[in-house]
Amino acid sequence: MSKNPAVMSTPDRASNPPLEVHDLTVAYDQKPVLWDIDFELPDGSLTAIVGPNGAGKSTLIKAAMGLIPASSGYTLIYGKPLDKQRQLVAYVPQRESVDWNFPISVMDVVLMGRYPHLRLFQRPRREDREIAMSVLAEMGMDAYHKRQISQLSGGQQQRVFLARALAQDANIYLLDEPLAGVDAATEEVIFTKMKELRDGGKAVVVVHHDLQSVPGNFDRAMLLNLRMVASGPVAEIFTDENLQKTYGGRLNILSQMIEESRQQRFVREADS
Amino acid sequence: METLIEFFSLQDPNIRYVLAGTILLGISAGALGCFAILRRRALVGDAVAHAILPGVCLAFIFAGGKDPFMLILGAFFFGLLSMVTMDFISRNSRIAPDASIGMVLSVFFGFGVVLLTFIQTTGFVDQSGLDDFLFGQAAAMVGDDVLVFGGLSAMILVVTIIVFKELKLVSFDPSFAQSIGYPVKRMEFLLALLMVLVITAGIQAVGVVLMASMLIIPAAAARYWTDSLRIMLLIAAGVGALSGVTGSFISYTAPAMPTGPWMVVSAAFVFFLSFLLAPGRGEIARYFQKRNFSHKVACENILKTLYSMEEEDGRTDRVRPGKELRKRRHLTGRTMKQVLSSLLRRKLITYYGGTPDGYMLTPAGRKEAKRLVRVHRLWEQYLSQHLQIAEDHVHEDAESMEHLITSEIEAQLRTSLGSPELDPHKSRIPYDTDESKPSGSAAEEDSKKSLAGKAGYKPGEKGKGGAS
């Protein structure tokens, strides 16, 4: 994101990890929501970001993608700054983030995934439509390509979002709660697809709400609660102690400080 | 009539100019308006339209009279200024966006009215035509005006078409657009710029007070007819153009009449028609959908009633009097008649005209009735088993859900419950495998066939009268 010595180093696809995030701190209205996050991901990995509500899970991937301003920190993609490598990253926002009554068809949404491969103002080509149809078929949604998006169930909408990410043909996939409120069939389709991507050498990061299903489905995890409690292979970091630290009471010094700074702002406002 | 012919024969070159100008304006405002309403920025458009009045007045003061280039410059500047102000207020204060929009609208407009009064009372500039900018006066447009305002509209339209793909993406999913590196901020600024420009283009023909409705109403009407953004833009453009024609025609026939209100009224008329008539979404279509559904529910309830009567005495050979059906279902005579004739037509029940006369389920009707009872009881079982809802609370819910449960959901219910035999009230759940019998033995089935063949039970094909 910002200028950093690390940016200057020669980017080498072979030796640099697909995604690294360094010193990431995010604050809303002065209130810190993420503290000094550092992590990197290897190729061919499937990582769950877990943590309690309000732990900053979605904020982490949004800030890593530069969608919300960070107070500090930067993201490297294969050792190069994010803005030069965006075509290598596919981001799937939360389903609730868009208006599903928007007058647009399933096909049109998936075609948006092809936009990074098109020039500005260039119309999608036939080849893009073919790719869109094939990724829709992979998600079991090809029969719905002409539907208006409001006529889909929640699970189907999520599949369309995932199809759009697949159409991007990226190396890194960042998915924000793709399994929230979807039906069992969709959940299976999505899990299968994510594992397929991992086996194909892609790095997949998923904001996930269900702690139970992490060990069976993911190989890495990040335990997040405002700061990174632990990050690494699930087998190593899913310890009672770490989980307790992540989900346990909020009365640690950090959250006290956060509360403090919130109050400070409150006072400052009352002054003005 | 004569004026109508004169107007549309386009003999008068001025009419051609005015018409071209208003049509272009209608098209570009309609198309751009779609993005405004989809991005929920319609009110911002209204505020901007009002806020350009001071710009118009200052243009008069500086130019010493009406000058189209100065007008556009002044209007554009104040339009942009109002937008920046709204943005600044909502970004840097705790004031909610709607309040900041309201504030900017009234403050800028108020300032405009002050300037307007100032010009009118001092009279040091040529103020002829200044009033027209409040409510519009298309007929007052002359050669230069049309060239400038029409040219502006045409330019906006061309830009909108070129950046259509990008505007669509940024309007639908801005965070995704940002994630793939699209210049979202710049696109949003471009959209705001286009909106200010189209409003500026409309000040002569429609006026500042009503210009926003030319953005909003055609787009709102268009949304009723389509689920495709491209077609929505085309329809909105068409509605805009139509209002432009109506407005300029009125302006031509009654020169004292302001154009803006007439354009708005005709656009609103199209909106009203869309609201009523649009297929699927219009009120009339929705009324019929609702009526069809309640008819379907009533039909299904009668089938179920017939089936439960069979279940009670275990006989499928009895004729059930219409009176008893009515008593059980609490339907009015009229509804009952409609329901029974529809069921007869679909061969789900038959009418027997003997004494007592009445109705019986056909095998097809019994199959459907059984399906309804089955999904009703499966749903009850599901509620009590999976949601731990008390047995005496599940019936009401199932009464309404049974009409909505599709075969897919039924299959899922059966898988998840393992095709149970009994519902929470210990009633048997009927499956299609156990033939057409609700309960009881096969002997009764035979006796039914022989009974039905006997005299006195004549099948009445056109037994519509038997409802009461």
CA dist., res. B37 & res. B42, Å (int): 5
Cβ pair A86:B179 closer than 8 A? yes
* Residue B440: both structure tokens together: 């009881």
* Rg of chain B taking only CA atoms, in angstroms: 34
Cβ pair B169:A115 closer than 8 A? yes
CA proximity to A156, closest of A183, A196, A175, A193 = A183
Q: How far is CA B400 from CA B293, B342, B376, B420, in A?
A: 12, 21, 9, 21
Which residues on B lie below 8 Å from A86 (Cβ)? 179-181
Is the four-CA dihedral B451, B452, B453, B456 of positive or negative sign? positive
- Kindly state whether B409 is in contact with chain A, defined as any CB-CB distance less than 8 angstroms: no
- β-bridge partners, B328: none
Sheet holding A19-28, edge to edge: A31-41, A19-28, A72-77, A80-81
Average pLDDT over residues A49-60: 90
Q: How far is CA A171 from CA B89, B229, B237, in A?
A: 41, 31, 42
Q: What are phi and psi of B254, to 5 degrees?
A: -125, 85
**Domain assignment of residue A126, yes or no:** no
| Residues 6+ away with beta carbon under 8 Å from B305 | B325, B328, B329
Instruction: Report the pLDDT value the prediction gives residue A8, as an integer from 0 to 100.
Output: 42
Among A86-90, A237-241, B434-438, where is mean pLDDT lowest?
B434-438
| Residues 6+ away with beta carbon under 8 Å from B329 | B298, B301, B302, B305, B336
Going by their DSSP bridges, the two strands A203-207 and A220-225 should be labelled as unpaired
Which residues on A lie below 8 Å from B226 (Cβ)? 103
DSSP string computed for B407-453: HHHHHHHHHHHT--SB-TTSPBPP-GGGTT-SSS-HHHHHHHHHHHH
* Residue B116: both structure tokens together: 């307007």
Which residues on A lie below 8 Å from B95 (Cβ)? none
Number of domains in chain A: 1
Boundaries of every domain in chain B: 2-278, 365-453
CA dist., res. A107 & res. A167, Å (int): 11
* Residue B234: both structure tokens together: 């085309």
pLDDT band at A257 (very low <50, low <70, confident <90, very high): low
Point out the residues of chain B with pLDDT beneath 50.
Answer: 436-468
Residue of B172, B186, B404, B413 to mutate for A, most A C-beta atoms under 10 A: B172
Which residues of chain A from 149 to 188 reach within 8 Å of chain B, CB to CB?
150, 164, 168
For A70, what's the count of Cα atoms within 13 Å in the CB-facing half-sphere?
25
Residue of B173, B225, B408 to mutate for A, most A C-beta atoms under 10 A: B173
Please tell me the CATH code under which domain B365-453 is placed.
Answer: 1.10.10.10
Q: How many CB atoms lie within 10 A of CB B8?
A: 12
CA proximity to A198, closest of A171, A237, A235 = A171
Q: Please answer whether residues B69 and B148 qualify as being in contact, where contact means their C-beta atoms are separated by less than 8 angstroms.
A: yes
Cβ pair A98:B172 closer than 8 A? yes
**Domain assignment of residue A14, yes or no:** yes
Average pLDDT over residues A194-217: 92
3-state secondary structure B287-356: HHHHHHHHHHHHHHHHHHHHHHHHHHHCCCCCCECHHHHHHHHCCCHHHHHHHHHHHHHCCCEEEECCCC
Q: Please answer whether residues A130 and A137 qualify as being in contact, where contact means their C-beta atoms are separated by less than 8 angstroms.
A: no
ipTM of this predicted complex? 0.86
CA dist., res. B407 & res. B371, Å (int): 9
CATH topology of domain B2-278: ABC transporter involved in vitamin B12 uptake, BtuC (1.10.3470)
| Residues 6+ away with beta carbon under 8 Å from A78 | A11, A12, A13, A16, A17, A18, A85, A88, A171
Instruction: Report the pLDDT value the prediction gives residue A5, as an integer from 0 to 100.
Output: 42
Cβ pair A112:B163 closer than 8 A? no
Instruction: Report the pLDDT value the prediction gives residue A1, as an integer from 0 to 100.
Output: 43
DSSP string computed for B367-419: HHHHHHHHHHHHHHHHHHHHS---GGGHHHHHHHHTTT--HHHHHHHHHHHT-
CA dist., res. B221 & res. B232, Å (int): 9
CA dist., res. A164 & res. A166, Å (int): 5
Q: Where are the alpha helices (DSSP H) in chain A?
A: 5-8, 57-64, 106-112, 126-138, 154-167, 184-199, 214-217, 234-237, 240-247, 253-271
Residue of A104, A149, A186 to mutate for B, most B C-beta atoms under 10 A: A104
Any idea what the CATH number is for the domain that residue A23 is in? 3.40.50.300
CA proximity to B348, closest of B311, B398, B399, B296 = B296
Which residues on B lie below 8 Å from A150 (Cβ)? 227
- Kindly state whether A103 is in contact with chain B, defined as any CB-CB distance less than 8 angstroms: yes
pLDDT band at A250 (very low <50, low <70, confident <90, very high): low
| Å between A138 CA and nearest CA of chain B | 21
Which residues on B lie below 8 Å from A115 (Cβ)? 165, 169, 180, 182
Cβ pair A86:B226 closer than 8 A? no
Average pLDDT over residues A179-203: 92
Instruction: Report the pLDDT value the prediction gives residue A140, as an integer from 0 to 100.
Output: 92
| Residues 6+ away with beta carbon under 8 Å from B38 | A99, A102, A103, B171, B219, B229
Instruction: Report the pLDDT value the prediction gives residue B460, as an integer from 0 to 100.
Output: 41
Which residues on B lie below 8 Å from A272 (Cβ)? none
Give me the residue from A67, A99, A121 closest to B179, CB to CB. A67
Which residues on B lie below 8 Å from A124 (Cβ)? 165
Cβ pair B181:A116 closer than 8 A? yes
Q: Per-residue pLDDT for A111 more than 80?
A: yes
| Residues 6+ away with beta carbon under 8 Å from A138 | A163, A166, A193
Which residues on A lie below 8 Å from B171 (Cβ)? 102
**Domain assignment of residue A229, yes or no:** yes
Cβ pair A102:B223 closer than 8 A? no
Q: Which domain holds residue A33?
A: 5-99+172-209+222-271
Instruction: Report the pLDDT value the prediction gives residue A217, as an integer from 0 to 100.
Output: 92
3-state secondary structure of A123: coil
Going by their DSSP bridges, the two strands B349-352 and A203-207 should be labelled as unpaired
* Residue A16: both structure tokens together: 């640099």
Residue of A65, A102, A188 to mutate for B, most B C-beta atoms under 10 A: A102
Which residue matches tokens 């640099």? A16
- Kindly state whether B229 is in contact with chain A, defined as any CB-CB distance less than 8 angstroms: yes
CA proximity to B206, closest of B54, B458, B30, B431 = B30
Written as one letter, the residue type at B89 is I
- Kindly state whether B416 is in contact with chain A, defined as any CB-CB distance less than 8 angstroms: no
3-state secondary structure of A85: coil
Nearest residue of A to residue B226 by CA position? A103
CA dist., res. B392 & res. B380, Å (int): 10
Instruction: Report the pLDDT value the prediction gives residue B453, as an integer from 0 to 100.
Output: 42
* Residue B321: both structure tokens together: 């009097």
